Amino acid sequence: MLTDFLILMKQELIITVIIFILLLLKIGKELTNEQVINIANVLLLLNLAGGIFFNRQGTLFSGMFQTNALIVLEKNILSLGTLIISLQSTSWLKKHAHVSEFYILLLSTLLGMFFMISSGNLLMFYVGLELSSIPLAAMANFDLGKKQSSEAAMKFIISSAFASGLLLFGISMVYGATGTLTFSEIAAHLNGAPLQVFAFVLLLAGFGFKISVVPFHLWTADVYEGAPVAVTSYLSVISKGSVLFVFISVLYTVFKPMAASWYNMLFLLSVVTILVGNLFAIRQNNIKRFLAFSSIAQIGFILVGITGSSQMAVASVIYFVLIYVFSNLAAFGVVALVSAVTGREQVSDYKGFYKTNPVLSWVLTIALFSLAGVPPTAGFFGKFFLLMSGAGQGNYILISIAALNMIISFYYYLRIVKAIFMDANDQPIERLTIPAYSRLALYICVAGIIVTGVLGHVYDYIHSLSFGF
């Protein structure tokens, strides 16, 4: 029993231990920021390494907690992303007065996400979700001197409280309709009665808030703009990724009997999300807002994949999130570096960027190409498989809309590329020295963008794990 506990909950336990180590370090003797950052990075690396070995599948606490190879993989993707973000934000954290607090909050949210992904019960899921979103609000407020940052935190906490309220309402409806909260038992009681559909709509709205599906996206751009870049990238990649992982498993296992009714909902939501994300992204001048809207559009594409409801759809969504981790973090890594050194965050500031910073320009360009879905970057494969799994349902209207929206998204990504390479600028961003940690993070991302796509093994591996849906 104890060994079961230790092995199945291994990843959560490691994170808890790390949090305590950091806490004790904070209480103990005074460490410089750099030392804390070094220690934290090593610990995060150990966390990632720990997730790779000695994995088993099973359940704990009478089905409250479950794990299997796919869930471990999802957690590893999140750990990897967190490590990359930590590496990228060194130049920002070095100047900050509360580094260990930042890491403690960061790891608490990660712990919450892990519990959420492993949950086998709606209550467990809810607790995990709350643990993952409340510390995030504190993190959004981490640019202590900036008004915008606290505004972002406020907006985030209010909207996420509202979303949690909806979720709870939905959960209580589910309980009322089925008499159980355990995932494996709910499905047997669902038959598409109006009350159940209503409960599902509430749950969907709650999920929609977390992954910023239109029309629940209104908080996204403001929070992304106000929060520190490290937190923005965490929100857009890790937080969304974790909710997506849970969303597909809840949708495909718990609400499987109601597939006919949620297919149309997702169809509508995905079309609206892609369109609104794309059209708003065109007009943005702040690069963080721009990435916010582009990430909304990306979620729309993911929803197209989710409508597929097949093994391929599960694999494609997880694969896409992995690619999204690399591509979005590469883009945010460059933005974070520029923002930390110069404080400039406008798209127009990037004009003539190639003349002064060729390496960073190429990294940003590759990342944007990957987000746009241009081969040979991984984004191409990710989008292709997402849309293919959506097409598996035979709804070619949806696929045509999504494919044509690729053109719009292509336009605004190319706008940035154009600014970098083609536009003249009197005051380009000066030549930046890239700190070793950021450099490492960018290399990991670029390698990920190139390798994850072209090598078929990654997708094969994910696909081989995504059975049972």
Partner 1 sequence: MSLSLLIILPFVTALLVLFSKGLPQVRAIALGGSVVQLVLAFALLVLYWQARSAGDHSLMLFEQNYTWFAPLNIHFHTGVDGISIAMILLTAFVTIAGILVSWSMEKLNKEFFFLLLLLSMGAYGFFISLDLFTMFFFLEVAVIPKFLLIGIWGSGKKEYSAMKLALMLMGGSALVFVALAGIYFNTTTADGTHTFDLMQIAQMHIPIAVQKLFFPFAFIGFGIFTALFPFHTWVPDGHSSAPTAASMFLAGISMKLGGYGCLRVATFLMPEAAHAYSTIIIVLATIAIIYGAFATMMQTDLKYINAYSSVSHCGFVLLGIGMLTKTAITGAVMQMVSHGLMTALFFAAIGMLYDRTHTRQVEKLGGLLKIMPFISTVFVIAGLCSLGLPGLSGFVAEMTVFMGSWQNPDTIYRVATILACASIVVTAVYILRAMGKVIMGPLLVDSGGSASHGAGNLTVDAGWNEKVAAAILIIGILAIGMAPFWLNELISADAGVIMSKILNRF
The burial of 133, by beta-carbon neighbours within 10 Å (0-12 exposed, 13-18 middle, 19 or more buried), is given as: buried
Restricting to residues 297-336, name those near partner 1 by CB under 8 A.
Answer: 311-312, 315
Contact window for partner 1 (CB under 8 A) among 120-128, 179-187, 282-290, 396-404: 396-404
- For partner 1, the binding residue among 24, 46, 359, 422 (CB under 8 A) is 422
Check residue 392 for interaction with partner 1 (CB under 8 A): yes
Check residue 394 for interaction with partner 1 (CB under 8 A): yes
Contact window for partner 1 (CB under 8 A) among 139-147, 162-170, 241-249, 452-460: 452-460
Which residues have CB under 8 Å from 8's CB, separation 6+?
Answer: 56, 58, 59, 60, 65, 67
E strands in 154-251:
none
Closer of 6 and 422 to partner 1 (Cβ)? 422
Structure tokens that stand for 107 in this block: 């790891």
- For partner 1, the binding residue among 388, 425, 439, 469 (CB under 8 A) is 388
> Alpha-carbon distance 334 to 341, whole Å?
11
- For partner 1, the binding residue among 283, 375, 430, 447 (CB under 8 A) is 375
Contact window for partner 1 (CB under 8 A) among 8-16, 114-122, 129-137, 417-425: 417-425
> Alpha-carbon distance 326 to 425, whole Å?
29
**How many chain residues are in contact with partner 1, going by CB under 8 A?**
35
Alpha helices in 343-455 (DSSP H): 353-356, 358-372, 378-391, 396-421, 436-454
In the complex, the smallest distance separating the C-beta of residue 279 from partner 1, rounded to whole angstroms, is 15
Structure tokens that stand for 52 in this block: 């790779």
Contact window for partner 1 (CB under 8 A) among 194-202, 262-270, 288-296, 407-415: 407-415
- For partner 1, the binding residue among 155, 210, 217, 463 (CB under 8 A) is 463
Helix (H) or strand (E) holding 167: helix 147-178
State residue 286 phi and psi, 5-degree precision. -90, 130
- For partner 1, the binding residue among 6, 49, 404, 451 (CB under 8 A) is 404
Contact window for partner 1 (CB under 8 A) among 4-12, 38-46, 216-224, 415-423: 415-423
Closer of 399 and 434 to partner 1 (Cβ)? 399
> Alpha-carbon distance 238 to 231, whole Å?
10
Tally helices (H) and strands (E) across the chain. 22, 2
Check residue 380 for interaction with partner 1 (CB under 8 A): yes
Contact window for partner 1 (CB under 8 A) among 57-65, 159-167, 275-283, 455-463: 455-463
Structure tokens that stand for 320 in this block: 């896409």
Radius of gyration over every alpha carbon of the chain, rounded to an integer in angstroms: 21
Structure tokens that stand for 194 in this block: 């109006």
Check residue 279 for interaction with partner 1 (CB under 8 A): no
- For partner 1, the binding residue among 369, 432, 441, 444 (CB under 8 A) is 369
Instruction: Kindly provide the b/e burial profile for residues 380-395, where b requires at least 16 CB atoms within 10 angstroms of the residue's own CB.
Output: bbbbebbbbbbbbbeb
In the complex, the smallest distance separating the C-beta of residue 162 from partner 1, rounded to whole angstroms, is 37
Three-state secondary structure call for residue 214: coil
Check residue 410 for interaction with partner 1 (CB under 8 A): yes
Check residue 281 for interaction with partner 1 (CB under 8 A): no
Closer of 209 and 385 to partner 1 (Cβ)? 385
In the complex, the smallest distance separating the C-beta of residue 415 from partner 1, rounded to whole angstroms, is 8
- For partner 1, the binding residue among 123, 414, 440, 450 (CB under 8 A) is 414
Three-state secondary structure call for residue 59: strand
In the complex, the smallest distance separating the C-beta of residue 260 from partner 1, rounded to whole angstroms, is 20
> Alpha-carbon distance 330 to 441, whole Å?
8
> Tell me, what amino acid is at 221?
A
Check residue 391 for interaction with partner 1 (CB under 8 A): yes
Q: Which residue has the tokens 């072209």?
A: 454
> Alpha-carbon distance 115 to 12, whole Å?
7
Residues that bind partner 1 (CB under 8 A): 311-312, 315, 369, 374-376, 380-381, 384-385, 387-388, 391-392, 394, 396, 399-400, 403-404, 406-407, 410-411, 414, 417-418, 421-423, 456, 459-460, 463
